[in-house]
Structure 1
């Protein structure tokens, strides 16, 4: 995936993982299931460490688990590129499921398609298995809250 040199990350993967722990503790609760593993100009790579908690009958990783990975990818992109404001929210997310995914590491390769002042549009290719085939693809939009001024800040 080509990098977008005009979009510069403001946080590393480790920093955004720490932010997720504090601002969104219910995401991983007792287990580190969802994590950012790389942040780069214009995108990120996130991982779902899928285990039995993520499986539906038949041993397939559930749709809601993959959907969450897609949403986490967008959230990591907006946090790392628009600023670490945890109040950014999903306004749209569409997903297509291509093939089943089994337990194990599932990667989401996310890229920012458009970064505006109030909206960020992204897509994410979710891959799994030894051949890293696409198991799902999603597109989404995040709302970026307006920059807040601190009471003691000079305008």
Structure 2
């Protein structure tokens, strides 16, 4: 059975490692986003990894050492003494999130820090979240099932 594992890479090597591993037949996923970077003389859109120094690889447990054929692969991410396994649904959620537009319609009525809510739209629809922060410009939500923090601007 093939599982998704998280591989820690050298800084700025995420795309190179994913490309090298794909060439030797390992299924890789390096989620990428477009950001606008500001230099003193110009602005430019650049494509950067969503997670710095991490990529996902799908392979059998017995083939885990193959990733070290890439010079940029450093180690696996471990959880409770074992290589961390990412569920297919979580990879699917990341892909779905990256494929959807940047703006989402949502409304939150009189919520308070500590409330549990279920998101109704966007890439994280049907996910439960705990409200960590509410202020004039944004909300900060913790998606415990995905182990991430989501910052949403007021619309």
Query: What TM-score do the two structures reach when normalised by structure 1?
Result: 0.24
Give 1 or 2 for the bigger CA radius of gyration. Answer: 2
- Give the structure-2-normalised TM-score: 0.24
